[in-house]
Structure formats: C-alpha cells, structure tokens
C-alpha cells in the first residue's frame, strides 16, 4: 500500500515535471513566434518600399529612353 503511494507520488512528480517542460516550451515558442511575425512584417514593409523604388526607377528609365528616342528623330 505504501509502495503504491510512493509510485503514485513519483508518477505525479514526473507528470508535473513534464507539464513544466511543456509550459516552458510553449512560452519559448510564443516568444519566437512574436519575433518571427515582427520580422515578417518588417520584410513585407521593406518589400513594398523596394517595389515602389523599382517602379520609380523603371519610370525614370522609360522617360530617359523616350527622350533619347525623340533626340534621334530631330
């Protein structure tokens, strides 16, 4: 009977330890997830900025090409 209680206490202690490990793992993963979401947001903003710069550069190059073509027809 006493041996059964020790076994139960030991099993409960192991279970409690596993739960503590799972809680710590969840907290760590939540933190990593927050960092990753923030990084993704920053990259998305940078992507938009780079896309805007690319479009501006494209427009400027097209305008220069048009001016060069018109200079050739004069």
pLDDT per position as a tens digit, 7-59: 999 999 999 999 999 999 999 999 999 999 999 999 999 999 999 999 999 99
Task: DSSP for 47-71, please give it.
Answer: HHHHHHHHHHHHHHHHHHHHHHHHH
Among 23, 45, 17, which residue's Cα sits nearest to residue 9?
Answer: 17
Compute the residue count for the chain: 74
pLDDT at 5: 73
- Does position 73 have pLDDT exceeding 80, yes or no? no
> Rounded CA gap, 68 and 74, in Å?
10
- Does position 63 have pLDDT exceeding 80, yes or no? yes
């Amino acid at each position: 009977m006493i041996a059964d209680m020790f076994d139960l206490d030991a099993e409960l202690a192991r279970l409690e330890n596993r739960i503590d490990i799972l809680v710590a793992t969840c907290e760590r993963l939540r933190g990593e997830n927050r960092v990753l979401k923030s990084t993704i947001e920053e990259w998305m903003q940078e992507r938009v900025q780079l896309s805007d710069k690319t479009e501006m550069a494209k427009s400027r190059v097209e305008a220069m090409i048009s001016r060069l073509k018109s200079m050739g027809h004069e």
